[in-house]
């Protein structure tokens, strides 16, 4: 109707020789309502809606910025990948300690050694432990400097679950949160607030990723490796609490990780030191162990950590090396489309039984996107590059994982 009135008015002007012309469009003097949309690189684009001063009623159609933002992320990822060599792409799939990156012990400072190492091996993420921290200022400087040396923004992570698995609470004096199991009867609000507190403290130091929450259920009372790290010994209760915790971590400003898929709570063994078995059928696991993983994924968890767990009913290989579990189960059955990361590849159940090179190649063939703490970074990277060159792994398979990694980084403002 507005356009029709404008045309009629202009015809009247021409016929009658009237000099007044109605101008339609944006005018700097109009009232403007502006909505800001954060783009993938961290900048702002103004989307302007004009509030008309004319008396004609105009119905405004809401502006859907989702597609625009997704397109910007995709374009940024495409541009970044086009500038990466195969070596760079494989390095992006590595998540290492600062010691594993630089080859030095007890790193507390990021200087020339870190800079040179990142130039040679542009890894995707750095995981820190308590031995890397002395005080708050030192920690912030180390993380900030490390980020500044990396062409592609790094995932900066630690294991900050609360309770006995914490790296900064006891070392740097951040807010102490007790064992997750202790809060199980306090309900989802407590799980949310605890996670948000942990995440907020981490974010203030420069961390952007936490290897938490534990989505395992303490279903085997003899299990000590998980125990009170779990949110509950009841599947349904754990599911409710883990879903709330995911939202808490996100609100606190860090990416979170569900672990240890497909569930470490029923094992008798500790996968740090030996092969750990889940002696349940896939049907039982899907009905029980998957409850917390399902609510966590539905809540938007960005990463899932796959454990070195052997499920004989599904495969004789550890889950991290099993296509049936890492791809068919996690991607297919659970519909997870985020980043899948291994548990530490230094654990004896992997390093001793399969070796650094073979386990790295097998993990990628199984469908893993990132390898956590390969025992030898150079050996792992070279093994995967060689496997691609030999045709044992396709480059599109590498690109699939790198695209997931970079997409998450772009969404979090870690790509420039």
CA 1 to chain centre: 49
Residue 262 and residue 329 in contact, taking contact as beta carbons nearer than 8 Å: yes
Q: Determine whether 264 is an active site residue.
A: no
3-state DSSP: the chain helix, strand, coil percent, rounded to 5?
45, 15, 40
| Catalytic pick among 216, 228, 288, 343 | 343
- Following DSSP, what letter does each residue of 134-194 receive, concatenated? S-HHHHHHHHHHHHHH-SSPPEEEE---BTTB-SSHHHH-PPP---GGGGGGG-HHHHHHH
CA 267 to chain centre: 26
Other C-beta atoms within 10 Å of 218: how many?
A: 23
- Following DSSP, what letter does each residue of 341-381 receive, concatenated? EESPTTSHHHHHHH-HHHHHHHHHHHT-SBEE--SSHHHHH
| Catalytic pick among 272, 333, 358, 399 | 272
Residue 41 and residue 76 in contact, taking contact as beta carbons nearer than 8 Å: yes
d(CA 244, CA 239): 9
Q: Determine whether 343 is an active site residue.
A: yes
Which residues are part of the catalytic machinery?
A: 272, 343
């Amino acid at each position: 109707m507005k356009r029709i009135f404008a045309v009629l008015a202009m015809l009247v002007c021409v016929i009658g020789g009237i000099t007044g012309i109605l101008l339609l469009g944006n005018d700097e003097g109009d009232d403007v309502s502006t909505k800001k949309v954060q783009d993938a690189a961290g900048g702002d684009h103004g989307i302007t809606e004009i509030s008309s001063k004319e008396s004609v009623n105009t119905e405004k159609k809401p502006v859907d910025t989702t597609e625009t933002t997704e397109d910007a992320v995709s374009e940024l990822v495409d541009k970044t990948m086009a500038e990466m060599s195969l070596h760079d792409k494989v390095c992006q799939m590595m998540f290492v300690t600062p010691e594993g990156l630089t080859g030095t012990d007890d790193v507390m400072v990021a200087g020339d050694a870190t800079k040179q190492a990142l130039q040679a091996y542009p890894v995707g993420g750095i995981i820190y432990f308590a031995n890397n921290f002395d005080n708050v200022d030192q920690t912030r400087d180390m993380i900030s400097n490390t980020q500044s040396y990396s062409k592609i923004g790094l995932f900066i992570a630690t294991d900050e679950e609360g309770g006995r698995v914490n790296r900064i609470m006891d070392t740097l004096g951040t807010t102490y949160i007790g064992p997750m199991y202790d809060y199980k009867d306090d309900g989802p609000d407590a799980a949310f607030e605890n996670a948000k507190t942990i995440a907020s403290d981490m974010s203030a130091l420069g961390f952007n990723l936490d290897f938490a929450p534990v989505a395992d259920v303490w279903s085997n009372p003899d299990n000590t490796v998980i125990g009170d790290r779990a949110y509950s010994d009841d599947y349904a209760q754990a599911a409710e609490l883990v879903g709330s915790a995911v939202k808490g971590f996100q609100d606190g400003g860090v990416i979170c990780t569900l672990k240890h898929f497909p569930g470490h709570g029923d094992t008798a063994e500790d996968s740090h030191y030996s092969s750990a078995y889940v002696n349940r059928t896939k049907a039982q696991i899907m009905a029980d162990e998957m409850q917390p993983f399902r609510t966590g994924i539905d809540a938007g968890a960005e990463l899932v950590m796959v454990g070195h767990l052997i499920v004989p009913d599904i495969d004789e290989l550890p889950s991290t090396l099993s296509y049936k579990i890492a791809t068919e189960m996690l991607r297919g059955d659970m519909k997870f489309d985020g980043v899948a990361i291994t548990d530490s590849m230094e654990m004896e159940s992997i390093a001793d039984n399969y070796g650094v090179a073979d386990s790295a190649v097998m993990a990628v063939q199984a469908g893993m996107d990132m390898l956590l703490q390969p025992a030898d970074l150079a050996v792992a990277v070279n093994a995967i590059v060689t496997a691609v060159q030999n045709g044992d792994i396709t480059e599109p398979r590498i690109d699939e994982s790198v695209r997931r990694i970079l997409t998450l980084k772009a969404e979090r403002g870690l790509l420039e």
